[in-house]
Amino acid sequence: MAKLFNNIRKQLVSEKPSVNRTSNYLKYAIGEIVLVVIGILIALQINNWNENRKLKLQEVSMLKDLQTDLKASLLEFNRIIDENQKIVNYIKTIAKYLEEDLPYESVLDSAFGKITAWSSPYFTFTAYETLKNKGLDLIQNVDLKKSIVNLYEFEFAYLVKDYDQSEWALAQSITYPISNKYIRRDISSNIPLSRPNNYEALKSNDEFINMVHMIIKFRESGIIFSNRGKEKLLSLIDEIEKELNSR
């Protein structure tokens, strides 16, 4: 560009061009400038197109990784719901036998063995943590982004932190102390089996019966929250699938 202006200047200085000739030089210079500007704009446009293309490829890859993690977490939901429901059923059996004054049966060995047990959730956060590091704005679909954040930051966070930590607090403050007082564990068995020190006395033991009902209520609320989270997870998997199919 500098060379062009120098040539024009030399021509103007060395000669005494006519007005038309000067006008032609100016038109030529302006034309060259316009071409250079257009070239720069085209280059920027191509660069932006390439960057957007890279971001879209990253987004698709990220959505696929999220989908894989969500399917793993779906298996985890199925596991904790199934295991906690079995535990609730065992504890309800204890309540039934105590409150209906039924004779002791061997099935209670397994039921008493589960009285301090519950299944904690272990979800997969790898893809979501990667997405947060890259920036949540990588997901262009605003509604989809909201669904992703809601599932991980609220549903998963509640079950992993609030609910599971409450289970630990209940176990340490109530379940372990009371069950250790009234139940003897069978340490010779490979499966959790326990038997009360005095089964007949437990039938009128309000402290123990209240604990049993507290566990049932607490565990059933956890199952409700888990089923709610599972439904939102399934909905998110479907949203991601639709988004990927639209690309």
Closest CA to 118 of 95, 147, 87, 78: 87
* 66, 68, 72, 73: CA torsion to nearest 10: 20
pLDDT digits (tens, 9 = 90+) for 49-97: 877 888 799 999 999 999 999 999 999 999 999 999 999 999 999 999 9
For range 216-221, the mean pLDDT: 95
For residue 102, pLDDT over 80 is answered with: yes
- Asked whether residue 204 is assigned to any structural domain, the reply reads yes
In 36-179, at which residue ranges do the beta strands (DSSP E only) sit?
A: none
Share of the chain above pLDDT 90, in %: 73
Residue 36 exposure: Cα atoms within 13 Å on the Cβ side: 9
Task: Give the H/E segment covering residue 153.
Answer: none
In a domain, 175, yes or no: yes
Q: What is the mean pLDDT of the chain?
A: 89
Q: Does residue 90 contact residue 110 with C-beta atoms inside 8 Å?
A: yes
- The predicted pLDDT at position 8 comes to 47
**Structural domain count, the chain:** 1
pTM value > 0.75: yes
Contacts of 196 (CB under 8 A, 6+ apart): 112, 182, 183, 184, 202
What is the span of the domain harbouring residue 135?
15-245
Q: What is the pLDDT of residues 25-54, one digit of tens each?
A: 776 777 777 777 787 888 788 877 877 888
For residue 6, tell me if it sits in a domain: no
